[in-house]
Structure 1
Amino acid sequence: MHYQYSGKQSPRTLAWHETLELHELVAFSSIGLMKLKKGLKKIECPTLKAIYHQTIKELEANLKELLQFYPLAPREDEEERNFDKAFYAGDLLAFSKTAVRNYAVAITETATPELRVVLAKQLQMAILSHARIFNYMYERGFYPSYNLQQLLKNDVNLANRAISM
């Protein structure tokens, strides 16, 4: 399904902020899709296996829809990357981002001062962990956060690889 801009004039490009959100969704969904497909062979319960299949089908459809917007993204120069290292590094980056968010939310729900101290300490470790994996990815070109076109090309390659698995 192709979506069209409903205003009087079609945009020539997406805005930078929406392009970055699009990038986050495509990268997260692609890694999730790859994990689901890798884990599918280990699922024995027919009901759970059916849920996995449905989720995989929906993620593939979502990625195909989102990828349609990539031609509208602002353009810069593009490069290739190493998928295996980038996949595992991206998975760790997504995990570390989620850990930071989860600790931050948990702290706001904590009434016990001793627990709050422990969670705050662990939040700081999660932030450092995120910085470590981000720096690893950035230094190797796996997460070219200052090069939007490369970032988007990486998303397209990752999504297409996830779909074709």
Structure 2
Amino acid sequence: MSLEERKTLAWHETLEIHELVAAQSTGLMKLKKSIGKMNDAELRRIYKQAIGDTELNLNELIRFYPSAPSVSEREESEREDTGFYAGELLMFSKTLVRTYAGAITETATPVLRKTLINQLLRSIHCHERIFNYMHKKGLYPAYDLEALLNHDLQNAKKALEMK
């Protein structure tokens, strides 16, 4: 069966799409909030292009959501700023973990390697704390795929509709 004929995405690719949509929705909101502060015309043009590219990415990715594996139904409650800020910290900590892991593999100096490992561990603990907070508050339904994807769609829609 070809990819075009497949009606359901695999769980792992659905979760990767979730990560991309969640990160880009938050990023798009931040870009749209920041562009009005840009005095430099060239930087403003770059921001506009980044906004347009991110909107295109989101619109392309959310088209795959109807093909996500089916799970039990659940209403997703309205998210307030707390969810946005918590999600921003979650993405920041996740990015740091990935960045530190890559940097460690490029490090030859033992004292620098030890420093980076300690900083990686702090980043991992930060990620754990914010994830646990979000999960406890119902802001990240990690074990409910349908709710997770519905939340992504709400955030993507909100980001796309922002002026």
Q: TM-score, normalised to structure 1's length?
A: 0.91
CA distance in 2, matches of 1:21, 1:152: 11
CA distance in 2, matches of 1:81, 1:132: 23
| 1:13 aligned residue | 8
Match runs of 1:118-133 below 5 Å: 118-133=115-130
Match runs of 1:43-82 below 5 Å: 43-75=38-70, 76-78=72-74, 79-82=76-79
- Does structure 2 conserve the Cα–Cα contact (< 8 Å) formed by 1:97 and 1:130? yes
Q: Number of aligned residue pairs: give it.
A: 160
**Stretches (4+) displaced over 2 A:** 6-12
Is residue 34 from structure 1 mapped to residue 62 from structure 2 by the alignment? no
- Does structure 2 conserve the Cα–Cα contact (< 8 Å) formed by 1:36 and 1:56? yes
1:132 partner amino acid: R
1:115 partner amino acid: L
SS at match of 1:146: coil
- Does structure 2 conserve the Cα–Cα contact (< 8 Å) formed by 1:36 and 1:52? yes
2:67 partner amino acid: L
SS at match of 1:142: coil
Q: TM-score, normalised to structure 2's length?
A: 0.92
Aligned in 2, Cα 1:146/1:32: closer, same or farther, shift over 3 Å?
same
Q: Which moved more, 1:126-135 or 1:104-113?
A: 104-113
SS at match of 2:37: coil
Unaligned runs of 5+ in 2: none
Unaligned runs of 5+ in 1: 1-5
